[in-house]
Amino acid sequence: MIRLYRAFSLLGYCIIPFWFLWRFLSKKTSFERFFPPEKINSNNIVWIHALSVGELFSAQNLILNLKKNLPEIHLHLTVSTKTAWDQVLLKFKDSVDSIGFFPIDLPGLAELWLSRIHPKLIILVEGDIWPNFIHTVFKFKIPVILANGRISPKSLSKYMLLKPMVKECLNKIDYILAGSYADIKRYTALGASKEKLLYIGNLKYSADMPKDIRSVRELYRKQLNLDDKARLLLAGSTHPGEEEILISACKNLIESGENIFLLIAPRDIKRSQQIKRIAEKYGFRAILRSQTGDCSLFFDTVYIIDTLGELADLYAVSDIAFIGGSLVERGGHNPIEPARWSIPVLTGPSVFNFQEIVEDMEQKGGLIKVQSDSLKQILASLIKDDKKMRHAGSMAGKTAGVYVNICENYINIIRKVAE
């Protein structure tokens, strides 16, 4: 069936340029995906590919630690979207040896890329599996690892319609390191060989534990002019419908005399002006981080994080974290990022993207599930009871610490395959 896909994809040379022009004009990708990179002069190249920002940050800890643990390799990092490219330049460029764009999946382009790069190993992050590329890499006898392999229930139903082709692609991959046991079941349903499937932990949970939480926290709080008694709630990766719930709850708490400040980091920073208007509707003064940088926070202030790549570190200044995408039906986001700073984690009921870790953290007392109408009450109970807040934060930190060795597990397999 891959042959049929390759035949049909030849038509892409007629159709894709128009689609690609639209993507380029909307600043979502680059024409460099049609033109191979300059030749890399190394015999020890490991090529790691992350489709977009989500995949890039899922593999962030792996990317940043590969060279530290395998200094002999030449690490080549590619992405497919312009937003991911901007993050590569901002956060990853100094941790790898070379960077570039991934080719469009048209016949012949993969050959051009491989003729310039000559990797000894290719690592694909999460689910960016393209039949032409996989077929070509297999033909060149280059081993492939699918890292943090993930298939959502919705994607599974679509892939089942193309099961023969998907099965062929999956079984040309050397290792499928699944993101969860549920993902292993889905790959098995698609025909992946059980010998190729492993679960050694989810890379999203592998963030390094901070070495000096107190000094980092004090630095950030000094920048924001916050005293020790101020309680700061950071709502990370929020979605439409959640900000108003959070702003309303904090407004009520402040009017009740509670000492709470609110930082909001929306999942889509383009919505920052919309969130600013919501905050102003409730009588708050809204400040955008991109326009002010460091500033003092006051009770009438909502601080909106409209910059990329800072959320994980900004949790350091917080006393309580709220995980967005959970009061609306989006499945939530990674609770390990705030938990590693040993602060209590709040989340709504929609957590299917991180079901296992949420259940683990909730069971240990580091995470509390809230509803829209119970958010204010639960926030108040934490703010008023310092002992309760410290205990929840401690349990969140201990839960996060369990996942520290995940990155090391991945590196051990990469070392084995790359030898």
Q: Which amino acid is at 389?
A: M
- Give the pairing type, strands 74-79 and 197-198: unpaired
CB neighbour list of residue 276: distance below 8 Å, 6 or more residues apart: 286, 288, 302, 304
6, 135 Cβ separation under 8 angstroms = yes
In sign, the C-alpha dihedral spanning 379, 381, 383, 387 is negative
Please state, as a whole number, how many other Cβ atoms lie within 10 Å of the Cβ of residue 43. Answer: 7
356 among known catalytic residues: no
- Tracing tokens 């069971």 back to the chain, one arrives at 363
Distance of alpha carbon 249 from alpha carbon 403, whole angstroms: 33
CA 60 from centre of chain: 8
Please state, as a whole number, how many other Cβ atoms lie within 10 Å of the Cβ of residue 67. Answer: 17
67, 48 Cβ separation under 8 angstroms = no
**Is residue 191 left, alpha or beta, with left meaning phi > 0 and alpha meaning psi from -120 to 50?**
left
Of 263, 58, 65, 241, nearest to 147 by C-alpha is 58
Distance of alpha carbon 110 from alpha carbon 124, whole angstroms: 14
Q: Which amino acid is at 203?
A: L
In sign, the C-alpha dihedral spanning 192, 195, 196, 199 is positive
Which residues, in sequence order, are bridge partners of residue 322?
A: 235, 346
Distance of alpha carbon 62 from alpha carbon 57, whole angstroms: 10
- Tracing tokens 């919505």 back to the chain, one arrives at 271
**Is residue 256 left, alpha or beta, with left meaning phi > 0 and alpha meaning psi from -120 to 50?**
alpha
Distance of alpha carbon 217 from alpha carbon 363, whole angstroms: 27
Write down the catalytic residue from 32, 55, 111, 419: 55
- Which sequence positions are flagged as catalytic? 55
